[in-house]
Structures are given as C-alpha cells and as structure tokens.
C-alpha cells in the first residue's frame, strides 16, 4: 500500500517545498476509558471520547460515541475529572502521557488513522548530488521495513508494562470488529474534501481495505470484555 501512496504524497509535499524521504510508522490506537470497556455497540452509546481531528470524529460518531476535541496536554485532567470518558490514542502515547493512571480500561480496537512522513526542505534536497539523494531514499526504504519489527516489539513491551500497572485489556469479538470496520467507511465524505490527488490516495486505500478482516490475534490482553 505504501509503495503506491508514497509517490502521491511526495507530489503533494513538493508543492509545499518539501521532499518526502520515508513514511514513519506508529503503534495503533486502542480506545482507553476511565471505568469500562467499549466492546459492543451498546457500550459505545453516549461515551465521550477525545479525538484528534475531523476523520477520527466522523468514525467515533459512526461507532456510536460522542467525539470531543481538546489538546493532548489537557487529556489527563479531562479523564480525571470526567470531562471525557475515553480517548483514541496510540499505545506509546498512553504511556508517555501517563493516561493509564486515570483510565485503566483498554479496548483493543487497534484503529490506525495516521500517515506520517519524514521530509526534507526541497531546496536543500535539490542541492544534494544524485548519489546522496539515492542513499537517503534507500535508507528510508530500509527504515520503513525495520519499523515493522520495532512496532511488534514495542506493542508487546507497552502492553506488558501497562498490565504490570494493573491496566485491564480486552479484544472485541469478531462480530464487533466487523461492525467497527464497516462503520469506519467514511470514504464519501473524505472524497468530497480530498481533491484529485487525495482521491488517488483513497483509491489505493480502498483497494487494500478489504484485507482488514480481523482485529488483534495475539494473546497479550488478560481480561475478558
């Protein structure tokens, strides 16, 4: 998928005087809540969930929750006070922002919503020799491959450390996972906002979307839903 998306992203970034070097990977987003799991449709009703942007918000609404926008730095206090019930946030940030001190119920929807790119100023890039440009891009491809091994390791580390802090985990059953995947189909709205090249990216994503057929299959969680 990335091999097809990356050149389109590079086209877009060049208009903003940036050269795309490689895409960076993040751990997925579980749903982390103060006092319960959200592992079925009924549990989602009325739940206030901190989200990071428009498309996360659209997805949360489709799943049955109520999205709330706020800076990440305010999330800890918001969960502590009950301003929000849950958050959609990657595993490593749950740890670094100490979110699981105040929210100890992690539902492993393991949604993935971000596409990050390491870039270089296009003017600086243009001054490099073709040989140096080739070296940087080759290193970028190697880094992308290496990140998948790191992600698997970091997932196990993060969940293990959180379990040691008495954080509870559950993985939704297949029926609920199928519902989440189906309700995350917001392509029509994305297409309206994306423009021609954005829609080329959507075309690629939709081609691979049907391969998303099941949720987490490891046994890292320790509590039933």
The predicted model scores a pTM of: 0.88
C-alpha span between 28 and 107 (Å, rounded): 12
166: left (phi over 0), alpha (psi -120 to 50) or beta: left
Read off the pLDDT of residues 28-77 as tens digits, 9 standing for 90 and up.
899 999 999 999 999 999 999 999 889 999 999 999 999 999 999 999 99
Which domains, ranges and CATH numbers included, belong to the chain? 2-209 (3.40.190.170)
Residue 222 confidence (pLDDT) above 70? no
Read off the pLDDT of residues 84-119 as tens digits, 9 standing for 90 and up.
999 999 998 999 999 999 999 999 998 877 788 999
**147, 74 Cβ separation under 8 angstroms:** no
Whole-number pLDDT of residue 111: 85
List CB contacts of 195: < 8 A, sequence separation 6 or more. none
Residue 191 confidence (pLDDT) above 70? yes
Question: Which among 218, 192, 199, 177 is positioned nearest to 38, based on CA atoms?
Answer: 177
φ, ψ of residue 74 to 5 degrees: the values are -95, -5
Q: What is the mean pLDDT of the chain?
A: 91
Residue 120 confidence (pLDDT) above 80? yes
Residue 158 confidence (pLDDT) above 70? yes
Buried b (16+ CB within 10 A) or exposed e, 43-65: bbeebbbbbbeeebbbbbebbbb
Read off the pLDDT of residues 68-90 as tens digits, 9 standing for 90 and up.
999 999 999 999 999 999 999 99
Q: Tokens representing 211?
A: 């391969």
31: left (phi over 0), alpha (psi -120 to 50) or beta: beta
């Amino acid at each position: 998928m990335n091999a097809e998306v990356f050149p389109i992203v590079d086209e877009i970034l060049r208009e903003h005087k940036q050269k795309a070097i490689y895409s960076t990977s993040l751990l997925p987003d579980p749903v982390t809540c103060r006092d319960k799991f959200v592992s079925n449709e009924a549990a989602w009703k009325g739940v206030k969930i901190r989200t990071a942007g428009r498309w996360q918000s659209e997805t949360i609404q489709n799943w049955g929750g109520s999205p709330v926008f706020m800076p990440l730095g305010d999330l800890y206090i918001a969960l502590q006070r009950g301003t929000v019930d849950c958050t959609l946030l990657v595993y490593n940030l749950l740890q670094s922002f100490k979110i699981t001190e105040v929210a100890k119920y992690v539902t492993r929807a393991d949604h993935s919503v971000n596409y990050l790119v390491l870039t270089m100023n296009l003017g600086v890039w243009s001054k490099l020799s073709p040989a140096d440009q080739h070296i940087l891009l080759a290193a970028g491809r190697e880094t992308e491959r290496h990140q998948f091994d790191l992600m698997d390791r970091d997932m196990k580390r993060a969940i293990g450390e959180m379990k040691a802090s008495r954080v509870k985990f559950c993985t939704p059953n297949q029926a609920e996972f199928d519902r989440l995947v189906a309700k995350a189909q917001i392509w029509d709205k994305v297409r309206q906002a994306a423009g021609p090249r954005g829609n080329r990216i959507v075309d690629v994503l939709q081609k691979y979307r049907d391969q998303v057929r099941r949720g987490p299959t490891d046994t890292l969680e320790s509590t039933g839903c």
